[in-house]
Amino acid sequence: MAPSKKTYKGCRDFYPQDMRVRDFLFDRMRIIAEQFAYEAFDGPLLEEVALYKAKSGEELINEQIYSFTDRGGREVAIRPEMTPTLARMVANIHKQAAKPLRWYAIPNLMRYEKPQRGRVREHWQFNVDIFGAPTNLGEVEILELIVSFLTSFGATNEMFSILLNDRRVVDSVFTTLLSLDEDSSYKLYKVIDKAKKVSLEKLDQMINEILVKSEQQQIFKDYLNIANFEQLNSFLAKYKIEENCQEFVNFVSLIKDQPYTPFIQYDPTIVRGLDYYTGVVFEIFDKHPDNNRAIAGGGAYANLLQIFNETPLAGIGFGLGDVTLRDFLETHKLLPDLSKPEHDLIIYYTDDNNQNKSFELARKLRQEQLKIECNLGTIKFNKIIKSAENKGYTFVAIVEERDGKAQVQIKNLKDRDNKFFNLNETQEIIDFIK
Ligand code: HAM
């Protein structure tokens, strides 16, 4: 039987038109990360499964990981996320590195998921992380970076919001107020993480299975009803847990008057599914109802290096997926038209005698960094414009004989401007088409 022409489930082929979009998005990721002085890094596609078992959480390990035993008997996995690789790399060098460390990467990751809108099995993820920043200032910078990234496409706070919470708040509610043991705390974390994905009745049922006492249920309802930072402050004061959450309260006052403040909203249901977060956690959501998957998620993790028996080094960062980003930009019409390639000029000739002259002109212009297509073979004069328009060109060059001398005619297909040049007038040609 012939092999299928389809991709493996949940994976994508990137034809040139898809690559143009991908390159556009990745270029923007690199530009913004580098504007904030983050440096690129990368790691291997395969890691030992043990790396993820340490801190990534049950869902990732039991349901989503692609793992196998290699020929040497090692249990390995295709990376489902980048943070453990990043932590492993940082653990190797952090003692001698100047802090803070600011790193970014755009890895492809694989998770065994049910493909649906915003969810695939292979996706690319813009990862930006900072290690060893002074208290709360890494958090402040990471939020500014991600907002700069999304607003660089023209996005506004009518289109997306950053839903923010802090694991220390949740931990205080679970341990100090609800007196939950580790096991019940873990279960309740998973319930909140799913809060937006299940019906209210189902949510109530899941909560009541863990919180059996009515006063526990009341406190937890109060917690889930917190709608903004003022209400959070009142809740912390009412239940006397301000002290445990002081760092988050300080952080909230730090981000009060930042340009990105209007994008940020407190949300008690944001806890994040990955186990390593210890402080601020956030997810970015599109406000359009068509896109209900998070565009990005991240948070602060103080203890990730300890899995390698290293001294603690606090980190904070986020991952932003290419699929959810593209859905967001397309829904809000923020993606430029990339349906045609953007080359500078196409050169045609109608007579074989001008073939080498056309190649020579192309060579000279490429040396000046222009992107030049040379039409291979002769073409009838009256077919030139249509051919160039179909390929999406604005400028067309036609190498032809005029008064016994080879010349090039350049046409601007947008404003129909038209000019003749000698073949050696490279700079004049560049000035005309730039
Ligand atoms: P995450 O929330 O698992 O976090 O993923 C981050 C983002 O990656 C999601 O918000 C979504 O945009 C995208 N994403 C995740 N899974 C899929 C999928 N199956 N299909 C399409 N897009 C997906 C992390 O991975 C953390 N390691 C991020 C991080 C970096 N935290 C700190 N630093």
Closest CA to 303 of 311, 294, 291: 311
| pLDDT higher than threshold 90 for residue 77 | yes
Cα–Cα distance, 67 to 46 (Å, whole number): 9
Mutate to test the pocket of ligand 1, among 64, 81, 104 (most ligand atoms within 8 A of CB): 81
| pLDDT higher than threshold 90 for residue 275 | no
How many C-beta neighbours within 10 Å does residue 351 have?
13
For 378-405, the pLDDT digits (tens) are: 999 999 999 999 999 999 999 999 888 9
Mean pLDDT, residues 45-56: 92
Phi, psi of 144, rounded to the nearest 5 degrees: -65, -40
Chain centre distance of CA 296: 7
| pLDDT band, very low/low/confident/very high, at 5 (cuts 50, 70, 90) | very high
| pLDDT band, very low/low/confident/very high, at 273 (cuts 50, 70, 90) | confident
User: Which pLDDT belongs to residue 197?
Assistant: 81
Q: Are strands 418-422 and 405-412 parallel, antiparallel or unpaired?
A: antiparallel
Q: Whose CA is nearest to atom 17 of ligand 1?
A: 119
Residue with tokens 């040049």: 421
Q: Whose CA is nearest to atom 6 of ligand 1?
A: 319
Name the region of 73 (left: φ>0; alpha: ψ -120 to 50; beta: rest): left
Share of the chain above pLDDT 90, in %: 89
Residue 339 tokens read as 């349906």
| Ligand 1 atom nearest to CA at 111 | 19
Compute the distance from residue 179 Cα to the ligand 1 centre, in Å: 31
Compute the distance from residue 68 Cα to the ligand 1 centre, in Å: 22
In DSSP terms, 116 is beta-bridged to: 119
Sign of the torsion formed by the C-alpha atoms of 334, 339, 343 and 345: negative
Q: Whose CA is nearest to atom 10 of ligand 1?
A: 296
Q: Whose CA is nearest to atom 9 of ligand 1?
A: 296
In DSSP terms, 402 is beta-bridged to: 405
Cα–Cα distance, 162 to 171 (Å, whole number): 21
| pLDDT higher than threshold 90 for residue 68 | yes
Closest CA to 169 of 228, 231, 242, 219: 242
Cα–Cα distance, 64 to 74 (Å, whole number): 19
Average pLDDT, the chain: 95
Residue 400, SS3?
Answer: strand
User: Which pLDDT belongs to residue 61?
Assistant: 84
User: Which pLDDT belongs to residue 403?
Assistant: 86
For 250-261, the pLDDT digits (tens) are: 999 999 989 999
Strands (E), 176-222: none
Is there a contact between 409 and 397 (Cβ–Cβ < 8 Å)?
yes
Residue 100, SS3?
Answer: coil
- Give the containing element (helix H, strand E) for 130: strand 122-131
Mutate to test the pocket of ligand 1, among 88, 103, 324 (most ligand atoms within 8 A of CB): 324
Cα–Cα distance, 281 to 300 (Å, whole number): 6
Q: Whose CA is nearest to atom 23 of ligand 1?
A: 321
Residue 229, SS3?
Answer: helix
For 112-169, the pLDDT digits (tens) are: 999 999 999 999 999 999 999 999 999 999 999 999 999 999 999 999 999 999 999 9
For 204-253, the pLDDT digits (tens) are: 899 999 999 999 999 999 999 999 999 999 999 999 999 999 999 999 99
Alpha-carbon distances, residue 123 vs 141, 183, 325, 427 (angstroms): 25, 32, 11, 43
Compute the distance from residue 296 Cα to the ligand 1 centre, in Å: 6
For 92-128, the pLDDT digits (tens) are: 999 999 999 999 999 999 999 999 999 999 999 999 9
Residue 425, SS3?
Answer: coil
| pLDDT band, very low/low/confident/very high, at 55 (cuts 50, 70, 90) | confident
What pTM does this model have?
0.94
Compute the distance from residue 146 Cα to the ligand 1 centre, in Å: 14
| Ligand 1 atom nearest to CA at 83 | 27
Amino acid letter for position 197: K
Amino acid letter for position 24: F
Share of the chain above pLDDT 70, in %: 100
Mean pLDDT, residues 418-424: 96
Q: What angle do CA 106, 110, 112 make, to 5 degrees?
A: 150
Residue 99, SS3?
Answer: coil
Q: Whose CA is nearest to atom 24 of ligand 1?
A: 319
Q: Which residues line ligand 1 (CB under 6 A)?
A: 81-83, 111, 113, 119-120, 123, 125, 127, 129, 274, 294-299, 317-321, 323-324
Residue 318, SS3?
Answer: strand
Cα–Cα distance, 325 to 293 (Å, whole number): 10
Mutate to test the pocket of ligand 1, among 125, 160, 291 (most ligand atoms within 8 A of CB): 125
User: Which pLDDT belongs to residue 200?
Assistant: 86
Residue 247 tokens read as 């760092």
How many C-beta neighbours within 10 Å does residue 295 have?
25
| Ligand 1 atom nearest to CA at 64 | 19
Chain centre distance of CA 434: 32
| pLDDT higher than threshold 90 for residue 329 | yes
| pLDDT higher than threshold 90 for residue 21 | yes
| pLDDT band, very low/low/confident/very high, at 356 (cuts 50, 70, 90) | very high
Burial zone of 215 (CB within 10 Å; 0-12 exposed, 13-18 middle, 19+ buried): exposed
Is there a contact between 153 and 256 (Cβ–Cβ < 8 Å)?
no
DSSP state of 336: -
User: Which pLDDT belongs to residue 194?
Assistant: 82
Name the region of 95 (left: φ>0; alpha: ψ -120 to 50; beta: rest): alpha
